[in-house]
Structure 1
């Protein structure tokens, strides 16, 4: 088993006034050759956008882009004709494929929006762009991991062009959980949203990340009430 830990205070940081962003992996003006990606997980950005502000229209191609709002409302518009609002309790996935443009804006003028934006390298290039969005309210279970992203369009969660599975978990203090990998050769990147957990004897606090590979299961213990995102991804492109 191999592991790599990224403590919250070691992430890249950018403060643009209207936007505060923390980068687990190299992004924009933050460059660290030792933190380019974890397998096909290329970007994990922890963003806070002030009221009424946002990202203007910009292009993407050949990338799977997942957005998970943590607080507030994020308005999305794209060249596929989608105009939507995603909020806490939603998960959005966009396959950029042959190319798409989109914009993202804080829907509210009086409060921040906080969200994770995650980029995954796809296993197929130049696919037709697509958009998927779900509410996870009906999927959410206390003291259990529930799937929110998968490679199968008929499976639970949004689907993407990659052999990747994401799970969220809300755990009470003292709860223990085992996660078994879905595919041989994959790794798991765990990201703590709230609280403190121990994963395979490594203690992680809020916004810490831990990558684990060359194993087929991990154990999770909530040291206090905690919320966790697990991202299982292929380790090779």
Structure 2
């Protein structure tokens, strides 16, 4: 087993007034040569966007982009004709492929929206761009992990062009669980959304994360009521 610890206070940060963001990996003006990516996980931005503010139309290509709101509502528009509002309990995915333009704005004028935006390198380049958004409220479970993303269209959650599986979970204090990896050669990036977990001997607090690879299973236990996101992803990029 190999591990790398990412403490919450070691992340890059930027406060633009309307946007307060934390970067787990090098992004925009934050650059750390030791923090470019973890496997095919390229970006994990922890964003708080002020009321009525947001990102105007901007381009992406050849990236799988996943957005998970935790508070508030995010309005999305793109050049594929999609216009929607993403709320807490939703997951959005966009396969940028050959290229897309989109905008993201806080849909409420008087309260912040808080979200993770995650970029994953795809296993196929120049695919036809696509957009999807689902509610995960009906599949959410207590004291058990539940899948929100996979490589398979027929599986629970959204799907992407990559051999990746994402799971969320809320666990009461004292509860534990084990995640079994689904594909050889994959690793796990686990981030504590809130609370405190013991993960393979490491104690992680809110927004702390750990990368683990060369392992078949990951065990964790909640020290207090906690929420986490587990991302299983390939450790090597291949097209």
> Shorter-chain TM-score: what band?
over 0.9
Matched, 1:130 2:163: no
SS at 1:128's partner residue?
coil
Report the TM-score when normalising by structure 2: 0.99
Match of 1:66 in 2: 66
What displacement does 1:58 show? 0.1
What displacement does 1:71 show? 0.2
SS at 2:56's partner residue?
strand
Match of 1:51 in 2: 51
Instruction: Give the count of matched residue pairs.
Output: 237
Distance, in Å, in 2 between the alignment partners of 1:133 and 1:146 is 17
Matched, 1:32 2:32: yes
Measured against aligned partners, the alpha-carbon deviations of 1:26-66 in whole angstroms (never above 9, x if no partner) come to 00000000000000000000000000000000000000000
SS at 2:55's partner residue?
strand
Match of 2:89 in 1: 89
Distance, in Å, in 1 between the alignment partners of 2:77 and 2:216 is 39
What displacement does 1:69 show? 0.1
Distance, in Å, in 2 between the alignment partners of 1:132 and 1:174 is 36
Match of 1:196 in 2: 196
Distance, in Å, in 1 between the alignment partners of 2:11 and 2:225 is 24
What displacement does 1:86 show? 0.3
Matched, 1:109 2:97: no
Report the TM-score when normalising by structure 1: 1.00
Matching of residues 1-237 of structure 1 within 5 Å? 1-237=1-237
Distance, in Å, in 1 between the alignment partners of 2:55 and 2:35 is 24
**Structure 2 segments unaligned to the other structure (5+ residues):** none
SS at 2:9's partner residue?
helix
Measured against aligned partners, the alpha-carbon deviations of 1:123-150 in whole angstroms (never above 9, x if no partner) come to 0000000011110111101000000010
What displacement does 1:224 show? 0.4
SS at 2:156's partner residue?
coil
SS at 1:80's partner residue?
coil
Distance, in Å, in 2 between the alignment partners of 1:109 and 1:191 is 29
SS at 2:26's partner residue?
coil
What displacement does 1:220 show? 0.8
Structure 1 stretches of 4+ with a deviation exceeding 4 A read: none
What displacement does 1:232 show? 0.3
Distance, in Å, in 2 between the alignment partners of 1:69 and 1:2 is 30
SS at 2:34's partner residue?
coil
SS at 1:45's partner residue?
strand
Distance, in Å, in 2 between the alignment partners of 1:182 and 1:123 is 17
